[in-house]
Structure 1
Amino acid sequence: MATREQRIHRLIEKTAADRRTGEVLWRVVGPAKNGEPGLDVVHGDLDRPFFVASVSKLFTVVCLAQLRVEGRLDWDSPIDEYLPSLDLTGLAVDDGRDVSGEITVREVMSHTAGLADYFEGPRPDGPTTLERAIAADFSWTAEEVVEWTRVMRPGRRGRGLYSDTGFQLLDAVVEHLDARPFAESVRVRITEPLGLAGTFVYTHADHGRFGHMAVIRNGADDLHLPLLLASVDGQGGVVSTLRDAVTFLQAFFDGRLFEKALLDEMLTDWHRIFSPLEYGTGVMRFRLPAVLTGFRSFSFEGHSGASGVVLYRDARSGVIVAGTVNQLQQRQLPYQLMIRTAAIAAS
């Protein structure tokens, strides 16, 4: 009879052979149980760098949590108090009233501020920002993000609407309070303390390293988007490895990066953003009805990204899944592989 490790490897290899995927990097880590050692199954190079896409948002959240613990940031204060150089007028509108000066840091972290999504949301002047960059790579600033978002249709305050605009603002808060580039805050606050040698925020200074990253595909096409990726910071510009990603997520949930009591607060007040994805305060949750998961009950907490990246811990079994299929299309593929490999690891 095949071992759990062998069964997991077979599933990953089947996905990797699928022509719809890019370079598949995958790791499944399970806790020790019943006297048996923990599980650790790896497909690909543990130290192969890849863009973690919106998993980057967890790095922003860690910075915001540390700033709160330090007493320098109040999550329930209006975000514009921490953004003196940005004019947020007109970004958030509630029943015809401009509430841009009232939306809080917590609301922006939770995607309930009613901010439109400048990145993949519909723009009145044509294609989305992502579609434009795929057609011809370009870079932008936080000021331009605010300008583009201002003319887009806002959501309703208090309801979930996933917004990359919000995390551009949150990164700017970190930069303002730390008085240094966001990439430097991540280095000082996260990667150096945890010894994450393969993790960094991609910037314009890193273009010479772009060719060393795993390639992201869009259907059958390889994407070359260094200017885009140098513009998104904690929205989606972090590079990591399978080795580092698991270490980071373990530290995130174990209380090694900020007070663990704060995590309990973050993992509440869940609201739907994209079915079946939900959002708490800076953390994403993926759940499916048991009938769709072989009658196993999972509650994956962490984050995922549009290029086929997942970094989740199942709150019930403790299984961690980290990986990428490096494919912008077929966004269901990484979730399918996550559920199937986690189910074997938890068995």
Structure 2
Amino acid sequence: MPIQRLLAKVDADPASGEVLWRVRADDGSLDVTYGDPKRPFFIASATKLFVTAILAQLRTEGRLDWDTPLADLTPDLDLAGVLAAGASVRAVMAHTSGLADYFEGKRPDGTTTFERAVQQDFSWDLADVIRWTGSMSPGTPGKGLYSDTGYQLLGAAIERIDGRTFGDAVAARITEPLGMQSTYCFGPQTLDRYDEISPMKYGDRDLRIPLAMASVQADGGIVSTLDDGLVFLDAFFSGRLFPAALLTEIQQNWHRIFYPLEYGTGIMRFRLPAVMTGFRRVPPFVGHSGASGTVMFRSPDRRVTVVGTVNQLKKRSMPYKLLVRTSG
């Protein structure tokens, strides 16, 4: 099925939100855009790639060592009982610190922040994140446990080292130098822009959660577009944002995070086994996805970049199926 037709079919499905999608091959043999390429949407956890890029810049500048205990960089935060003693920046980036996840991890009462937010929009801050995480059962250091708390703390470390808010650091270090005029970190100061952003769905229900989206910040708060997303991924994977040697380093130690996703150091890999593809070879994709139905990935083997969203928080396999079927 032609890619445009496939995307239109998904877009017309009541199970999907608004579909925005861009696929581009380096050699120009494939270049498909579906939807308005300048339409802003939440990239959700793909925000973590921006965090990785800034941490790589700070390391290159000699202002940060990834093997430094993260708690040493945030001495004003009481992380006792939350973050294992000595847990490094690298381990938190890789989700191997054992840090619990404030967003989808269960609290003692059995609820999760995610479930609460989709039922009734509300806001929180870093103090809430630390308190909630401290009430949860931690993972085992050295083993993969996806933690949005970790990226909240990495965002806090960036703010303390860089001397500006996470959103301002993103602007100064990434979006302004790259000319990404439609990309920014959504926050309390941009609540009035919420209705400009492509709407999300949770199942068959339209989702309106401006307070929650203003709270996630470094773990998932960036708004971008198809055009800007391609600019960012091109820069991320070409060495324009940080040295190419670091790009190699962050992809050296992959570990399972949740099937079929793996994690390196601040970067995700999506790889399907042959048994799931009818034994048709599907090369791995590296980049990141987001719970909003967002994908921001590159296939090094195919030399294809894919940026898109289905704006659906409940049917999480949907964007990955499209990723495979639209990438050539």
Encode CA deviations 1:193-226: one digit per residue, 9 max, x unaligned: 0000110000111111100100010011111111
RMSD: 1.1
Deviation for aligned residue 1:116: 0.6
Give ranges in structure 1 of 5+ residues lacking alignment: 1-5, 93-99
Partner residue, 2:239? 255
Instruction: Tell whether the 8 Å contact from 1:52 to 1:240 is kept in structure 2 after alignment.
Output: yes
Distance in 1, matches of 2:4 and 2:118, equals 33
Distance in 1, matches of 2:85 and 2:128, equals 19
Q: Secondary structure at the match of 1:184?
A: helix
Deviation for aligned residue 1:277: 0.2
Partner residue, 1:227? 211
Instruction: Tell whether the 8 Å contact from 2:282 to 2:324 is kept in structure 1 after alignment.
Output: no
Q: Secondary structure at the match of 2:2?
A: helix
TM-score with structure 2 length normalisation? 0.98
The size of the alignment, in residue pairs, is 327
Instruction: Tell whether the 8 Å contact from 2:125 to 2:215 is kept in structure 1 after alignment.
Output: yes
Instruction: Tell whether the 8 Å contact from 1:79 to 1:101 is kept in structure 2 after alignment.
Output: no
Distance in 1, matches of 2:317 and 2:282, equals 19
Instruction: Tell whether the 8 Å contact from 2:269 to 2:285 is kept in structure 1 after alignment.
Output: yes
Match of 1:322 among 293, 298, 307: 307
Partner residue, 1:160? 144
Q: Secondary structure at the match of 2:103?
A: coil
TM-score with structure 1 length normalisation? 0.92
Q: 1:162-241 to 2 correspondence within 5 Å?
A: 162-241=146-225
Is 1:30 matched with 2:25? yes
Larger deviation, residues 9-18 vs 237-246: 9-18
Partner residue, 1:43? 34
Give ranges in structure 2 of 5+ residues lacking alignment: none
Deviation for aligned residue 1:290: 2.7
Encode CA deviations 1:213-248: one digit per residue, 9 max, x unaligned: 000100111111111111111211000000000110
Partner residue, 1:15? 10
Partner residue, 2:131? 147
Encode CA deviations 1:78-117: one digit per residue, 9 max, x unaligned: 001100110110014xxxxxxx231000000000000110
Match of 1:301 among 286, 304, 311: 286
Partner residue, 1:70? 61
Deviation for aligned residue 1:296: 2.1
What's the % identity of the aligned pairs? Answer: 55
In structure 2, what residue type is equivalent to 1:30? Answer: A
Partner residue, 1:271? 255
Instruction: Tell whether the 8 Å contact from 1:218 to 1:327 is kept in structure 2 after alignment.
Output: yes
Deviation for aligned residue 1:276: 0.2
Encode CA deviations 1:267-304: one digit per residue, 9 max, x unaligned: 11100011000000000000001343351231100000
Distance in 2, matches of 1:217 and 1:124, equals 28
Deviation for aligned residue 1:135: 2.1
Partner residue, 2:112? 128
Q: 1:32-111 to 2 correspondence within 5 Å?
A: 32=27, 37-92=28-83, 100-111=84-95
Instruction: Tell whether the 8 Å contact from 1:47 to 1:243 is kept in structure 2 after alignment.
Output: yes
Match of 1:285 among 256, 269, 276: 269
Q: Secondary structure at the match of 1:121?
A: coil
Partner residue, 1:3? none
Instruction: Tell whether the 8 Å contact from 1:293 to 1:339 is kept in structure 2 after alignment.
Output: no
In structure 2, what residue type is equivalent to 1:128? Answer: T
In structure 2, what residue type is equivalent to 1:17? Answer: A
